[in-house]
């Protein structure tokens, strides 16, 4: 792929953007069929994916630009309804490029499957017995998915935790499973259910729950960046002032869970949007991320920003459980096209990119919060949504949006008034010009 810098991309009409994307990625006509007006999930696929299907809900899909991750340019597909997300993350990525871009990595895709064992007469003896029979348990688990084992994945280890549950002590068996390029939920659940009878025979107890854990703290993704002060100067503030504002906001989030929650929501604006665009379970990623934030007994931020030798440094670490094969990747014909825009990354590379997106999204929010406030840029983009809600179409959307911003009143009734005046002055066609 060429550069992820596509100057003026946001100014282009959608058809022109699609042509530019096809040129950049050397996409064929067949591959481009998944984008544009033909990109809706077929109703037959939707009906097969869920129960009681009645239709398909659309979300805008855009491209996060300017990302340089581990020295490679990446175009990042994002599915999101919030107006400012892609604009903000693209600007942040452009700023980070000036410091050399993002460094990112992720752990091997090891997930945890839990088997809960109750009614144990001697929990300590049960734990010891399970560990003695570890190889037998792994053999049963891998026998259920031999192809995964042959590819270097599959069940790899067994751990046991003793946990007080009410008046009882339960043995919580953890199957450690390498899911390769799959997210692996169904694989993990199948293995947990498959080893349950053997675990009951080994322990003399009774197995209760058998399911994966979404606290995927064995497969963490990380990203970091270093931004020279001069790259941050904006809004009439020096780069040093902006950098110190971001670092101070980071310290606030570390000190206060009320702030940390909103701080992390900004991170997940980016992470979730990429998860949706790549057919991944954003709900699982959200649950794991927020649980990870509380691992030390208090709710903490996912990112840290600090000042060092004339530069702003940032770092993020969070569990990201994603796949690039199976599941919705096959069921939704648009997903392979969007993965192609990223260069068809494997699960580990995708997780690292998502961590970089989360860090960029967070930096964009803190940069605004520490200077002119979050609303200036957000409301300018939100004005277009208000214009559409008022009935504006085509070029009239931008015209109404500009008038709303100039009036300093981005409200539906005001947009309706502006559009009505345009129609009165130019005739009914004005709202659709």
Active site residue 376: no
CA atoms within 13 A on the CB side of 132: 8
- CA–CA distances in Å: residue 337 to residues 22, 29, 153, 341: 11, 11, 26, 7
Nearest of 176, 169, 91, 148 to residue 365 by alpha carbon: 91
**121 Cβ contact partners less than 8 Å away, ≥ 6 residues apart:** 204
Q: How far apart are CA 241 and CA 253, in angstroms?
A: 19
Active site residue 256: no
Long-range contacts of 29-36 (CB under 8 A, 24+ apart): 31/337, 31/340, 32/337, 34/333, 34/334, 34/336, 34/337, 34/338, 35/61, 35/334, 35/337
Catalytic residue of the set 82, 254, 286, 409: 82
Catalytic residue of the set 281, 300, 349, 431: 281
Residue whose token pair is 């008046």: 167
Active site residue 393: no
Active site residue 51: no
| Letter string b/e over residues 214-239, b meaning 16 or more CB atoms within 10 A of that residue's CB | bbbebbbbbbbbbbbbebbebeebeb
Catalytic residue of the set 149, 170, 263, 378: 378
Catalytic residue of the set 103, 134, 244, 265: 265
Our measurement of the distance from residue 176's CA atom to the centroid of its chain's CA atoms, rounded to an integer in Å, reads 23
Phi and psi at 36, nearest 5°, equal 70, -155
For residue 302, the 8-state DSSP code is S
Q: Where does 229-320 have alpha helices with state H? A: 239-255, 257-277, 282-293
Active site residues: 82, 265, 281, 378
């Amino acid at each position: 792929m060429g550069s992820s810098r596509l100057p003026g991309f946001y100014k282009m009409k959608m058809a022109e953007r699609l042509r530019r994307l096809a040129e950049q990625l050397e996409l064929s006509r067949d591959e481009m069929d998944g984008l544009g007006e033909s990109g809706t999930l077929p109703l037959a696929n939707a009906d097969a994916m869920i129960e009681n299907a009645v239709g398909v809900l659309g979300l805008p899909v855009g491209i996060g630009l300017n990302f340089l991750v581990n020295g490679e340019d990446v175009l990042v597909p994002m599915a999101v309804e919030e107006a400012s997300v892609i604009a903000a993350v693209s600007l942040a990525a452009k700023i980070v490029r000036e410091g050399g871009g993002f460094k990112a990595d992720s752990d091997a895709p090891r997930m945890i499957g839990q088997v809960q064992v109750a009614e144990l007469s001697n929990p300590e003896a049960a734990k010891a017995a399970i560990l003695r029979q570890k190889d037998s348990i792994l053999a049963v688990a891998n026998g259920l998915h031999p192809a995964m084992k042959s590819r270097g994945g599959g069940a790899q280890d067994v751990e046991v935790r003793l946990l007080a549950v009410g008046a009882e002590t339960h043995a919580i068996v953890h199957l450690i499973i390498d899911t390769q390029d799959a997210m692996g939920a169904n694989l993990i659940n199948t293995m947990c259910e498959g080893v349950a009878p053997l675990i009951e025979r080994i322990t003399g107890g009774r197995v209760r729950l058998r399911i994966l854990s979404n606290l995927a703290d064995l497969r963490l993704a990380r990203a970091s960046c270093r931004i020279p002060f001069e790259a941050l100067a904006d809004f009439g503030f020096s780069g040093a002032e902006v950098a110190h504002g971001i670092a101070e906001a980071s310290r606030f989030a570390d000190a206060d869970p009320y702030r940390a929650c909103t701080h992390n929501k900004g991170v997940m604006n980016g992470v979730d949007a990429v998860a949706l665009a790549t057919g991944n379970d954003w709900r699982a990623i959200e649950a794991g991320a927020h649980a990870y934030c509380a691992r030390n007994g208090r709710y903490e931020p996912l990112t840290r920003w600090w000042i060092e030798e004339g530069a702003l440094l940032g770092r993020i670490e969070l569990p990201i459980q994603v796949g690039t094969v199976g599941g919705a990747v096959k069921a939704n014909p648009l997903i392979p096209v969007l993965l192609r825009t990223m260069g068809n990354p494997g699960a580990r590379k995708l997780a690292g990119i998502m961590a970089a997106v989360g860090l960029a999204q967070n930096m964009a929010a803190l940069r605004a919060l520490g200077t002119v406030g979050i609303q200036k840029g957000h409301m300018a983009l939100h004005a277009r949504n208000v214009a559409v809600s008022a009935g504006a179409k085509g070029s009239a959307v931008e015209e109404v949006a500009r008038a709303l911003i100039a009036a300093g009143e981005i409200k539906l009734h005001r947009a309706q008034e502006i559009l009505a005046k345009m129609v009165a002055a130019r005739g009914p066609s004005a709202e659709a010009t």
